[in-house]
Amino acid sequence: MKFVINGYGRMGRMIEEIAKSKGMELLAAIDMDNVSDLETLEKADVLFDFSHPSSTSAVCAYAKRTGTAIISGTTGMTEETLALLQDAASAAPVLYSANYSTGVAVFRRLLQYITPSLLPDFDVEVVETHHNKKADAPSGTAKMLVDAIDPENKLKRVTGRDGFCGARTKDEIGVFALRGGTVAGEHTVSFFGEDEVLTIKHSAASRRIFAAGAVNAGQHLAQMAPGYYSLDEVLFSK
C-alpha cells in the first residue's frame, strides 16, 4: 500500500514511521514548499493530510484526479475547506476527523448513547487540556464531543463565566479550555445531577495514539468506495 503525507512535521513523521512499520511504502512527503508536486504526483492508496487548511484545495484536486483516499486531521478547518473535502468525496473515499484516537471514538459513541437518558435531569460541562503551544480553542475534539452530546445544536455553548453571570440555565453547555506544559490532550465530560456526578475522561499520553489511529483508519479507508465517511463508519461499520 502506497501513501502520501501532506504536512511533514512531527505528526507527519510519526505517521511515516508507523505506516512503514506496517509494510506501507511512502510515495511522497509534501509540505508547504512543495505542495505543487501534488499536481503531477501519481496515484497512491491513501494520503494523510495533517498540514494547513491552505493546502486543502491542492489535496482535494489530487484526490479527484487520482481517486486517492484522504485521511484528514488538519486543524483550523472552515466550512469552506470542509466543503472541498466533501466535494472530493465524489471521486475518492474521504475521512475528516478532529481526533483519530480509538479511545476518543469510543468516548464519542458512548456520549451519543447515554446523553438522551441523562440530559433532561443533568447539567453537562466539557473541559479540555492541551499543551501551551496549541493555537486554537476549544479543541476540535472538544467540539466533536459537544456535537455528540447535542447533535441538533439545541444547547447554548458557554466558553467562559465571569462576574455576576447568574445561575446556570438548563439550555447551556460549558466548554472550557486549559493550556499548559506539554499535555498531548485530555478531555473530560461531566454530567452533574442532584446528589450525583458522572464523569468520563480520556487522556492521551502522546501524539502517537493519534498517528497510529490515522494509519489504522487509512488502511481501512483505502479499501472503501468513494464517499464522505465518519470515523465511526470506518472503524465500527463491521
User: Residue 92, CB half-sphere, CA atoms under 13 Å: how many?
Assistant: 28
Q: What are the DSSP E strand ranges found in the chain? A: 2-6, 25-30, 46-49, 69-72, 93-96, 123-130, 156-158, 172-179, 185-193, 196-204, 227-229
Amino acid letter, 227:
G
Q: Is 130 a catalytic residue?
A: yes
Q: Examine residue 93 and say whether the peptide bond preceding it is cis (omega within 30 degrees of 0).
A: no
Q: Which of 20, 134, 143, 156 is catalytic?
A: 134
Q: Is 187 a catalytic residue?
A: no
Strand, coil or helix: what is 182?
A: coil
Q: Are 157 and 146 in contact (CB under 8 A)?
A: yes
Q: Determine the distance from the C-alpha atom of residue 65 to the mean position of all C-alpha atoms in its chain, rounded to a whole number.
A: 25
Q: Which of 130, 187, 202, 220 is catalytic?
A: 130
CA dihedral 116, 111, 167, 176 (to 10 degrees): -160
Calculate helix-pair angle for 102-118, 208-221, nearest 10 degrees.
90
Cell numbers 486517492: residue? 68
Catalytically annotated residues: 130, 134
